[in-house]
Structures are given as structure tokens and as C-alpha cells.
Amino acid sequence: MQEMGYRDEDRYEAQYKENIWNNPVYGFYAKVKNNSDFKSRVRDLPSYAGSYSPGNDRRANEDELMTAMLVVEDAIPATCEKNSPNSYAESHANLYSDIVSKGAVRNSCFSAIAFDTRVPALCAKIIPVEGNLPELNYVDRENCEDGIRVAIQNNERLLSHNPQYFSRMDDFVRALRKLGYDKPFLIDQNAPDWSAFYRHLVYYAKPGEKQEFLRLAEALPSFTK
């Protein structure tokens, strides 16, 4: 596999696609995210706060996603304001799906913390987003408030809401390197090996990845006489 040009990072990327939490990059993040130094570095990232501008939706950058991840897990709603109301994150329904959904990072940040802390007042921070992007998941202020209040009245347990995660491992790695971590990989000795990566390419990879794998395989030296 290495002779074909694949790197360890390609193997880690396959693990990331199959499980966003069980891979070397998220493992590294989980190890450092509770350190005061790491939290300080994230707090020092630039702010992209501003007014919502219909028609100017854009993909969230690494700073925004890293900020949203940490503030949701730490339940710090004020820091959600650093994200632009125009930015969104992409995600796939599952490993086999080509359907991409888009979630407004700032709204998702407030909604997740509101549910996790059972504070419906935080739902007021949700900004209505026009549906100019058909794939954009709409986070509704009233549904947020009603969902929390009903759960509290009925003494129901609210499910934990995850932040918007990085859909691509290389974006996650770039964000961590920007924070000063040159090798943001925590390698589990029991992690999938090259054989598992091979199986990923054969059975789970998208058509383009499979075609590239076959092209590289065909380019290997021939030992036939």
C-alpha cells in the first residue's frame, strides 16, 4: 500500500470517515481538549461575528468549527457568538450516503447548549435563516424553546446534542496544527492496520477513490515472465 503512494494519513482518513470519534485525530483532540492551554488557544482564535446576510452562506472555516466543538462540549453559550450566522458545516448521513446535509454552525451551537443545559432562553439567540440552500438544516427557535419546556414539564431526559463536527479529517488536522500541534494523531496500538484500510477501499470507498486505488494497483511492477 505504501509503495502505491498511500500514507498513514490516508489510513487515518478512512478511519475518520467510518467513525468520527474512533480515529487518531479525534483521539488526540479528546486528550488535549480539557487542558487549560488548549482552551486558551481556542479562545484566542479570531471572531467571525456579524449580521446574517441572506444569500451569502458559506462553509464554516476551521476556526469556527473548532470554536463550536469546544464551546458546545464545555457549554459556554457566549462564545457561540464568535461564529458567523452565515457559516454552515457539511455532514453525510452515513458512510454509504452521498447526501450532504448542511447545518448553520452558530444556530446549532446555541441549540445544542440550550438542550444540554435545559435553558430555553438560549433558543432566543437562534437567527432565522432563509432557505436559499435546499440542504440547509433549519434550526427553529420556537421548536427549540417548546422542546425544552415540554421535556422539563414532563420530567423527560433531554438527549445530548452534539456540536457540528469536521466532516473532513484534513480540515480537523489543519485546525489543530494552526493551534500549534504539529502531529495531532493519537495512535491506538489496536487501531485498524493497512489490511483494514485495504478493505475500506474495496468495500466502502466512494467510486472515485476505488478508481484511484485500481489505477495505482495497475501501475505496480509486473513480475510475470
Helix (H, G, I), strand (E, B) or coil at 59: strand
Give residue 58's region: left, alpha or beta (phi > 0; psi -120 to 50): beta
CA distance 7 to 5: 6
The pLDDT tens digits for 58-112 are 999 999 999 999 988 888 898 999 999 999 888 765 555 566 677 889 998 998 8
Please tell me the predicted confidence (pLDDT) of residue 220. Answer: 92
- What are the extents of the domains in the chain? 33-161
Please tell me the pTM assigned to this model.
0.81
Residue 19 — pLDDT band, cuts 50, 70, 90? confident
Q: 64: buried, middle or exposed (CB in 10 Å: 19+, 13-18, 0-12)?
A: buried
Helix (H, G, I), strand (E, B) or coil at 77: helix
User: Residues, the chain, total?
Assistant: 225
